[in-house]
């Protein structure tokens, strides 16, 4: 695959906003996010269906896909940021124009249910996409950490390097690993397995996060990744912040999430790091999908060694 890197963001650039999954249910957060982007020196352009609602979707499938296609075609738009996540982004995968996306490479940033889009675009076009804060969550309430890594990942051609630790990390399996960074929300990216949009997991650093998913459900998810031989292909694993993943159904037996993760990786030789700063309701480093990263679990270090922009 030929990797394509979008041009870096600069002050004065125009950011296109799209809602590829659920509607904007919180207009105050939406407006707050726009204000933050303007304060950072950007102009903003809204997609046609960015504020639409069709039940739990922000417009029908074709409308949501057309917004993304239009933003990639639009010469006045320099980057594309998603407003929020949801549960239906994978419905628009057949309607994206991957030739247009390949021919007009731009920053595409999102998190959570946007994961299938990030991975599908990378897989079908070679364009580096970015796992990181969306408009309503992470930009609207932009913390100094989020701003630091937004700038490092999207506005500089220098590699991010060692990712600074905020929440206490844990090493579940020691060792070293390097490879392309592939991942996102584990439930959402599981929907790509067995489809033409599934990424190449071979020797990648597999990063994943979940939100309010109970440990016994994460156990089932990880087992699916084992059964599909995904886990056996990767060179290393890192989880995001899982502090909201609290057991309710089996709280009387207290299933331990760390032990669950170790159990699914015990027969593998790769290192595993736990509770890094990405995911929901936490600080978020921006991770360029398809770029080279390194884990040194012996030193509790995760680094992003390759820039995602040109």
Query: Domain check: are 197 and 131 in the same one?
Result: no
pLDDT 10s digits, 28-73: 999 999 999 999 999 999 999 999 999 999 999 999 999 999 999 9
Query: Domain check: are 75 and 175 in the same one?
Result: no
Query: Domain check: are 144 and 88 in the same one?
Result: yes
Write down the residue that tokens 């950490």 correspond to. Answer: 145
Note whether residue 267 is domain-resident.
yes
Note whether residue 19 is domain-resident.
yes
Strand pairing report for 292-296 and 43-46: unpaired
Query: Domain check: are 118 and 210 in the same one?
Result: no
Judge contact between 107 and 9, C-beta under 8 A: yes
| Predicted local confidence at residue 73, as pLDDT | 98
Query: Domain check: are 279 and 231 in the same one?
Result: yes
Q: What angle do CA 67, 70, 73 make, to 5 degrees?
A: 155
The verdict on whether 280 is a catalytic residue reads yes
Query: Domain check: are 142 and 46 in the same one?
Result: yes
Catalytic-role residue among 264, 280, 283, 306: 280
Task: Supply φ then ψ for residue 301, to 5 degrees.
Answer: -120, 135
Query: Domain check: are 101 and 125 in the same one?
Result: yes
Look up the CATH number of the domain holding residue 183.
3.50.30.60
3-state secondary structure of 57: strand
- Considering only CA atoms, give the Rg of the chain: 18
d(CA 256, CA 23): 34
From 120, 154, 188, give the residue that closes a domain: 154
pLDDT 10s digits, 292-307: 999 999 999 999 999 9
d(CA 310, CA 303): 19
Judge contact between 127 and 102, C-beta under 8 A: yes
Query: Domain check: are 165 and 295 in the same one?
Result: yes
| Predicted local confidence at residue 261, as pLDDT | 98
The verdict on whether 209 is a catalytic residue reads yes
Catalytic-role residue among 19, 21, 49, 112: 112
Query: Domain check: are 23 and 135 in the same one?
Result: yes
Catalytic-role residue among 63, 209, 283, 306: 209
Distances 298 to 54, 205, 206, 302 between C-alpha atoms, Å: 49, 16, 18, 11
Query: Domain check: are 125 and 219 in the same one?
Result: no
Note whether residue 141 is domain-resident.
yes
Note whether residue 309 is domain-resident.
no
| Predicted local confidence at residue 266, as pLDDT | 95
From 127, 154, 181, give the residue that closes a domain: 154
Note whether residue 1 is domain-resident.
no
Return averaged pLDDT per consecutive 10 residues of the chain, 310 residues in all. 96 98 98 98 97 97 98 98 98 98 98 98 98 98 98 98 97 98 98 98 98 98 98 98 95 94 97 98 97 97 98
Torsion of the alpha carbons at 7, 11, 14 and 17, rounded to the nearest 10: 90
Give the other-Cβ count within 10 Å of 232's Cβ: 13
Note whether residue 6 is domain-resident.
no
Query: Domain check: are 34 and 90 in the same one?
Result: yes
Distances 193 to 2, 137, 200, 228, 286 between C-alpha atoms, Å: 22, 27, 10, 8, 24
Q: For the chain, how many structural domains are there in total?
A: 2
The maximal CA–CA distance of the chain, rounded, in angstroms, is 57
Query: Domain check: are 169 and 50 in the same one?
Result: no
Whole domain around residue 22: which residue ranges?
14-154
| Predicted local confidence at residue 254, as pLDDT | 86
| Predicted local confidence at residue 120, as pLDDT | 98
Look up the CATH number of the domain holding residue 99.
3.40.50.10740
Note whether residue 5 is domain-resident.
no
Judge contact between 8 and 110, C-beta under 8 A: no
From 132, 154, 176, give the residue that closes a domain: 154
The verdict on whether 112 is a catalytic residue reads yes
């Amino acid at each position: 695959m030929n990797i394509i890197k979008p041009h870096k963001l600069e002050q004065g650039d125009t950011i296109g906003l799209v809602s590829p999954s659920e509607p904007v249910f919180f207009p105050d957060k939406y407006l707050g996010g726009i204000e933050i982007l303007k304060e950072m020196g950007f102009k903003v352009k809204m997609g046609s269906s960015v504020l639409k609602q069709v039940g739990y979707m922000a417009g029908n499938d074709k409308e949501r896909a057309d917004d993304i296609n239009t933003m990639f075609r639009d010469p006045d738009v320099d980057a594309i940021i998603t407003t929020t996540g949801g549960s239906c982004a994978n419905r628009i995968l057949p309607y994206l124009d991957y030739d247009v996306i390949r021919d007009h490479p731009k920053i595409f940033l999102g998190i959570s249910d946007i994961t299938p889009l990030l991975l599908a675009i990378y897989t079908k076009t070679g364009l580096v996409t970015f796992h990181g804060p969306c408009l309503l969550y992470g930009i609207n309430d932009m913390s100094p950490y989020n701003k630091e890594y937004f700038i490092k990942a999207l506005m500089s051609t220098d590699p991010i390097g060692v990712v600074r630790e905020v929440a206490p990390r844990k090493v579940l399996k020691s060792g070293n690993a390097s490879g392309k960074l592939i991942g996102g929300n584990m439930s959402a990216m599981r929907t790509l397995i067995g489809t033409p949009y599934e990424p190449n997991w071979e020797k990648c650093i597999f990063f994943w996060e979940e939100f309010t998913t109970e440990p016994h459900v994460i156990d089932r998810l990880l087992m699916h990744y084992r059964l599909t031989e995904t886990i056996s292909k990767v060179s290393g694993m890192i989880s995001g912040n899982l502090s909201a993943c609290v057991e309710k159904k089996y709280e009387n037996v207290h299933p331990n999430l760390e032990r669950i993760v170790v159990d699914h990786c015990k027969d593998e030789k790769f290192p595993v790091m736990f509770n890094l700063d990405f995911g929901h309701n936490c600080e978020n480093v921006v991770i360029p999908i398809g770029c080279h990263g390194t884990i040194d679990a012996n030193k509790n270090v995760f680094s992003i060694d390759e820039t995602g922009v040109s």
